[in-house]
Every structure is written in structure tokens, then in C-alpha cells.
Structure 1
Amino acid sequence: MFVITLSYLVDVERIDEAMPAHREWLETQYADGVFLASGAQVPRKGGVILAAGVPRPELDARLSLDPFVQQHLAAYEIVEFVPRVVAPGLEALQA
């Protein structure tokens, strides 16, 4: 499993302009079953994504296709971890 944070490199106005393309890209990742959750950071300086089910090189390849990355609007940081303990109902997340 991966916790992915993205940090905006430009003003939010530029982010908003690219948001429709970013959301379309997100939808593809959800449809493929790779992304589990995503949303904006508070305060709005970037976002967070939870992902699973792919090896790191494939995740890196997918992230490189994000319009935010391709337009140099945001940068990603990725933390991989193995969920050993989960809340009831989330057992499918365990390795």
C-alpha cells in the first residue's frame, strides 16, 4: 500500500485550470482499482492519495501520467507501507 502526497508547485489558480484533466486521470486510476481514496490537503497546498495493488514501478509510471505532473504543477512523495492492523471492515487492505 502507498500513501502518496502531492505538493502544489504553482498558485491554486493554475491548479484549478488543470483540475478537470487531473480528475479524469484520477477516475482512470479508480476504475483500474489502484486508487482507494484521494482528496485535498487542508489547508489546500496539495493532495493525498491512498493506492494499492500495483508494484512501485507501475505506480511511478501511473503518477507520471498525471496532468499535474506533466505540466509541472505538482510533485509527488510516496511512502510504501504494509498495513498489519486495520479497523473492522478494512481487512482487505492487509497484506
Structure 2
Amino acid sequence: MFVLELTYTAPLEDVDAVLEAHVAWLDEQYERGVFLASGRKNPRDGGVILAVAEDRGRVEEIAAGDPFVTAGVCAYRVTEFVATKTAPGLERYRETSG
């Protein structure tokens, strides 16, 4: 499982100019089963996405396609972790460390 932390690198008006495309991109990732949760940070200086994928390279490839990235308004930090405990609704994503 992966935590993707977005940090805005441009003024909010530049971020907002790309927001509609970013939300459409998020919707695509949810439809593909890659994203489990997402939202803005508070204060609004970026966002957080909880994702699942076969490996880190795939997650980084997906993040590179975010319109926020292609427009140059945010940077990503990707953290991989082993989800050994989850809420019941997420139990299919539980892993055991190898």
C-alpha cells in the first residue's frame, strides 16, 4: 500500500486552474481500483492519497500522469508501507511482511 503526499509548488490560483482535470484523473484511478481515499490537507497546501498497486514504480508512473504534475503545480512524496492491520472494509488490502 502507498501513501502519496502532494505538496503544492505554485499559488492556489494556479492549482485551482487545473483542479477539474485533476479530479477527473482521480476519478479514473478510483475506477481502476488504484486509489482508496484522497483529500486536501488542512491547511490547504497539498493533499494525500491512499493507493494500492503492484509496485512503487507503477505508483510513481500513475502520479507522473496527474495533471497537477504535468502543469507543474505540485510535487509528490510516495511512501510504501505494509498494511498489516485495517478497518474491516479494507481487509482485502491487508498484507503480511515478508
Verify same fold: TM over 0.5.
yes
Alignment-derived partner of residue 45 in structure 1: 45
Q: How far did 1:52 drift?
A: 0.6
Instruction: Tell me the amino acid that sits aligned with residue 54 of structure 2.
Output: V
Q: How far did 1:66 drift?
A: 0.5
Unpaired segments ≥5 residues, structure 2: none
Q: How far did 1:61 drift?
A: 0.9
The alignment of Structure 1 onto Structure 2 pairs a total of residues equal to: 95
Unpaired segments ≥5 residues, structure 1: none
SS in structure 2 at match of 1:90: helix
Alignment-derived partner of residue 69 in structure 1: 69
Alignment-derived partner of residue 30 in structure 2: 30
Alignment-derived partner of residue 55 in structure 1: 55
Pairwise CA RMSD of aligned residues?
1.0
Alignment-derived partner of residue 15 in structure 1: 15
Identity between Structure 1 and Structure 2 (%): 45
With normalisation by structure 1, the TM-score equals 0.94
Q: How far did 1:57 drift?
A: 1.0
Which segments of structure 1 move beyond 4 Å, counting only runs of 4 or more? none
